[in-house]
Amino acid sequence: MILNDNSIWAFSLANDSSTYHGKSYLDNRIHFYRSGIIYNIHFLAIPMYDRHTGEYMFKLVSQVFDVLCSSWHMKLISMGSDGASSMVGEYQGIVTRIEQQVYYYFIYLTLGSSSAFSYLVWSSST
């Protein structure tokens, strides 16, 4: 996985949960800098078979990163989402849970709504 490359010292994560044709997914995008280029990559849409709780989404994301980039605790520096309570709940949200796991100062960005999230993702990839 490219995030394990030593030249990539940090990355950010953007999450959004959605339902498409009756199936729920947790969509994940990563942003990182490498060799003079800022990358914005659709990383993974994780199928969700349970309720959209912060605990469940944290479990999905952390398990994926534990396998693909075991140093994510040291490299993840920011996260963005649409501001839903399951994302940013003070005690139970995925952002709160991830913030408790990272080693360094963590920045969270609320993107306001799914349409704002989509716009940000689209505009940053062009």
Does the reported pTM lie above 0.85?
Answer: no
> Tens digits of per-residue pLDDT, 52-81?
788 888 899 999 999 989 999 999 998 887
Identify which has the larger pLDDT, 1 or 49. 49
| Closest listed residue to residue 109, CA positions, set 80, 86, 82 | 80
Kindly give the pairing relationship between strand 107-110 and strand 23-34.
unpaired
29-55 residue pLDDT tens: 999 999 999 999 998 888 888 877 888
Around Cβ 122, how many Cβ atoms within 10 Å? 10
